[in-house]
Structure 1
Amino acid sequence: MSTTIWIFIVVLAAVVGAVAGFFIARRSMETYIKNNPPISEEMMKSMMTSMGQKPSQKRLNQMMAQMKSQAQTSSKKK
Protein backbone atom coordinates (compact mmCIF):
# COMPACT_ATOMS: atom_id res chain seq x y z
CA MET A 1 0.00 0.00 0.00
CA SER A 2 1.19 3.46 -0.70
CA THR A 3 1.98 6.03 1.94
CA THR A 4 -0.91 8.33 1.02
CA ILE A 5 -3.46 5.59 1.74
CA TRP A 6 -1.95 5.04 5.19
CA ILE A 7 -2.02 8.76 5.91
CA PHE A 8 -5.66 8.90 4.81
CA ILE A 9 -6.55 5.95 7.07
CA VAL A 10 -4.81 7.53 10.07
CA VAL A 11 -6.48 10.92 9.53
CA LEU A 12 -9.89 9.29 9.04
CA ALA A 13 -9.47 7.22 12.21
CA ALA A 14 -8.48 10.33 14.17
CA VAL A 15 -11.52 12.27 12.96
CA VAL A 16 -13.91 9.38 13.68
CA GLY A 17 -12.36 8.92 17.13
CA ALA A 18 -12.66 12.61 17.94
CA VAL A 19 -16.31 12.75 16.89
CA ALA A 20 -17.19 9.56 18.77
CA GLY A 21 -15.30 10.77 21.86
CA PHE A 22 -17.18 14.06 21.81
CA PHE A 23 -20.58 12.39 21.78
CA ILE A 24 -19.62 9.80 24.41
CA ALA A 25 -18.25 12.51 26.72
CA ARG A 26 -21.35 14.65 26.19
CA ARG A 27 -23.71 11.81 27.03
CA SER A 28 -21.73 10.83 30.14
CA MET A 29 -21.69 14.44 31.41
CA GLU A 30 -25.46 14.77 30.86
CA THR A 31 -26.14 11.63 32.89
CA TYR A 32 -23.69 12.74 35.61
CA ILE A 33 -25.36 16.14 35.96
CA LYS A 34 -28.80 14.51 35.93
CA ASN A 35 -27.84 12.09 38.74
CA ASN A 36 -25.76 14.63 40.72
CA PRO A 37 -27.34 18.07 40.46
CA PRO A 38 -24.93 20.97 40.93
CA ILE A 39 -27.07 22.55 43.70
CA SER A 40 -28.09 20.42 46.67
CA GLU A 41 -30.69 21.08 49.31
CA GLU A 42 -28.00 22.03 51.83
CA MET A 43 -26.48 24.56 49.43
CA MET A 44 -29.87 26.11 48.80
CA LYS A 45 -30.57 26.25 52.55
CA SER A 46 -27.31 28.05 53.27
CA MET A 47 -27.91 30.42 50.34
CA MET A 48 -31.36 31.36 51.68
CA THR A 49 -29.94 31.81 55.17
CA SER A 50 -27.21 34.12 53.87
CA MET A 51 -29.87 36.20 52.10
CA GLY A 52 -31.67 36.67 55.41
CA GLN A 53 -34.55 34.24 54.80
CA LYS A 54 -35.60 31.49 57.17
CA PRO A 55 -35.76 28.42 54.90
CA SER A 56 -38.65 26.09 55.64
CA GLN A 57 -38.59 22.49 54.46
CA LYS A 58 -41.71 23.10 52.36
CA ARG A 59 -40.05 25.98 50.51
CA LEU A 60 -36.87 23.97 49.96
CA ASN A 61 -38.89 21.07 48.54
CA GLN A 62 -40.75 23.45 46.22
CA MET A 63 -37.54 24.97 44.93
CA MET A 64 -35.89 21.57 44.40
CA ALA A 65 -38.97 20.29 42.53
CA GLN A 66 -39.00 23.42 40.40
CA MET A 67 -35.32 23.02 39.51
CA LYS A 68 -35.84 19.33 38.70
CA SER A 69 -38.80 20.04 36.40
CA GLN A 70 -36.88 22.85 34.74
CA ALA A 71 -33.95 20.52 34.08
CA GLN A 72 -36.26 17.88 32.60
CA THR A 73 -37.97 20.35 30.24
CA SER A 74 -34.63 21.70 29.06
CA SER A 75 -33.34 18.18 28.37
CA LYS A 76 -36.49 17.32 26.38
CA LYS A 77 -35.97 20.34 24.12
CA LYS A 78 -32.64 18.96 22.87
Structure 2
Amino acid sequence: MAAILGAVAGFFLARRSMMSYMKKNPPISEEMMRSMMTSMGQKPSQKKLNQMMAQMKAQAAQADKK
Protein backbone atom coordinates (compact mmCIF):
# COMPACT_ATOMS: atom_id res chain seq x y z
CA MET A 1 0.00 0.00 0.00
CA ALA A 2 2.80 2.41 0.90
CA ALA A 3 4.56 1.69 -2.41
CA ILE A 4 1.45 2.61 -4.37
CA LEU A 5 1.01 5.86 -2.45
CA GLY A 6 4.68 6.64 -2.95
CA ALA A 7 4.44 6.00 -6.68
CA VAL A 8 1.38 8.23 -7.03
CA ALA A 9 2.94 11.02 -4.97
CA GLY A 10 6.19 10.70 -6.93
CA PHE A 11 4.34 10.97 -10.23
CA PHE A 12 2.57 14.19 -9.24
CA LEU A 13 5.74 15.68 -7.74
CA ALA A 14 7.73 14.90 -10.90
CA ARG A 15 4.95 16.29 -13.10
CA ARG A 16 4.80 19.53 -11.12
CA SER A 17 8.57 20.02 -11.18
CA MET A 18 8.72 19.31 -14.92
CA MET A 19 5.95 21.83 -15.64
CA SER A 20 7.73 24.54 -13.64
CA TYR A 21 11.02 23.73 -15.44
CA MET A 22 9.35 24.03 -18.85
CA LYS A 23 7.77 27.33 -17.85
CA LYS A 24 11.14 28.77 -16.79
CA ASN A 25 13.06 27.24 -19.72
CA PRO A 26 10.84 27.11 -22.79
CA PRO A 27 11.78 24.51 -25.40
CA ILE A 28 12.02 27.18 -28.13
CA SER A 29 14.45 30.04 -27.59
CA GLU A 30 14.96 33.27 -29.50
CA GLU A 31 17.95 31.79 -31.31
CA MET A 32 15.86 28.87 -32.52
CA MET A 33 13.12 31.25 -33.68
CA ARG A 34 15.70 33.37 -35.47
CA SER A 35 17.14 30.37 -37.29
CA MET A 36 13.66 29.10 -38.25
CA MET A 37 12.69 32.48 -39.69
CA THR A 38 16.00 32.75 -41.55
CA SER A 39 15.52 29.29 -43.05
CA MET A 40 12.03 30.35 -44.23
CA GLY A 41 13.57 33.31 -46.05
CA GLN A 42 12.56 36.04 -43.60
CA LYS A 43 14.94 38.50 -42.01
CA PRO A 44 13.90 38.50 -38.35
CA SER A 45 14.00 41.78 -36.49
CA GLN A 46 14.37 41.90 -32.73
CA LYS A 47 10.92 43.47 -32.43
CA LYS A 48 9.31 40.60 -34.33
CA LEU A 49 11.18 38.02 -32.26
CA ASN A 50 10.05 39.70 -29.05
CA GLN A 51 6.43 39.70 -30.27
CA MET A 52 6.55 36.02 -31.15
CA MET A 53 8.12 35.07 -27.80
CA ALA A 54 5.47 37.13 -25.97
CA GLN A 55 2.73 35.34 -27.92
CA MET A 56 4.19 31.95 -27.03
CA LYS A 57 4.39 32.88 -23.34
CA ALA A 58 0.80 34.14 -23.40
CA GLN A 59 -0.40 30.91 -25.00
CA ALA A 60 1.48 28.86 -22.41
CA ALA A 61 -0.04 30.90 -19.59
CA GLN A 62 -3.51 30.48 -21.06
CA ALA A 63 -2.98 26.74 -21.38
CA ASP A 64 -1.95 26.59 -17.71
CA LYS A 65 -5.23 28.19 -16.67
CA LYS A 66 -7.27 25.46 -18.32
TM-score, normalisation: structure 2:
0.98
Amino-acid identity (%): 77
1:21 aligns with 2:16: no
1:45 aligns with 2:23: no
Q: RMSD value over aligned CA atoms?
A: 0.4
TM-score, normalisation: structure 1:
0.83
State the partner residue of 2:48.
Answer: 59
Matched residue count: 66
Structure 1, unaligned runs of 5 or more: 1-11
The 2-side partners of 1:30 and 1:76 are apart by 13
Structure 2, unaligned runs of 5 or more: none
Which one scores higher on RCO, CA 8 angstroms, separation ≥ 6?
2
State the partner residue of 1:33.
Answer: 22
Find the structure with the greater CA-based Rg: 1
The 2-side partners of 1:27 and 1:64 are apart by 23
Q: Deviations 1:26-50 (Å, cap 9, x if unpaired)? A: 0000000000000000000000000
The 1-side partners of 2:41 and 2:6 are apart by 51
Report the Cα offset of residue 16 of structure 1: 0.2
Runs (4 or more) in structure 1 with deviation over 6 Å come to none
